[in-house]
Amino acid sequence: MNLRQSLFALALFLSPAVAFAHAGHDHSGLLAGLAHPVFGLDHLLAMLAVGLWAAQQTGAARWALPLTFVVSMLLGGLFGFAGMQIPLMETGIAGSVLAFGLLVAVAVRLPMSLSLGLTALFALTHGVAHGLELPALASPWGYAGGFVIATAALHASGYLMVRLLPQAAAPLVRLTGAASAVTGVWLLAG
């Protein structure tokens, strides 16, 4: 699969999400949950970057990083459903865009415990934000299911982009990480 085909496949995968933006059609919350990570630039970039970074790793880190993100995010979502807020939540989310972007840009392999701890902390901030933004009349479980599915799909998309691209495209992946990091700086400044 070449770069153009990979990008086309990603665009095709994400395009049905546009239909999820219309409120009032789904009281289960599933569609709103699916849309939330995809249509928030900060969430989208961080979650894609986790997949990109995981694909740059070796061994168990390839599956442990995305799994840790999803589980920690779900836990954060439950905290958000309960109305719990965490200090500097938006700063943590913007910081995750910067941090994960930098990690992809330099293709760093940190010790597993540090990688998982950092991933869990950032995922918790994303999850609390998702939980606090539960739409009125939506089922929390349907909404949580939606944002978990969308997040896993974004991680998988980032992972597959790295794994399916030819090795010669590695600089493009690093450039993508750098662009994400720059966006993180912009989000922090804004």
The string of pLDDT tens digits covering residues 135-147 is 988 899 999 999 9
pTM, entire model: 0.85
Q: Is 32 helix (H, G, I), strand (E, B) or coil?
A: helix
Output the pLDDT for position 8. 54
Residue 87 identity = P
Of 51, 91, 85, 45, the C-alpha closest to 68 is 51
- CA–CA separation, 11 and 5 (whole Å): 10
Helix (DSSP H) and strand (DSSP E) numbers for the chain:
8, 0
Contacts with 31 (C-beta within 8 Å, 6 or more apart), sequence order: 20, 25, 146
Contacts with 119 (C-beta within 8 Å, 6 or more apart), sequence order: 50, 65, 68, 69, 72
Residues of the chain with pLDDT under 50: 16-25
Output the pLDDT for position 64. 98
DSSP conformational letter for 134: P
Look-up: residue for tokens 């090795």?
Answer: 167
Contacts with 29 (C-beta within 8 Å, 6 or more apart), sequence order: 134, 135, 138, 139, 140, 141, 142, 143, 144, 145, 146
Output the pLDDT for position 24. 43
Domain ranges of the chain: 3-7+30-189
Output the pLDDT for position 137. 84
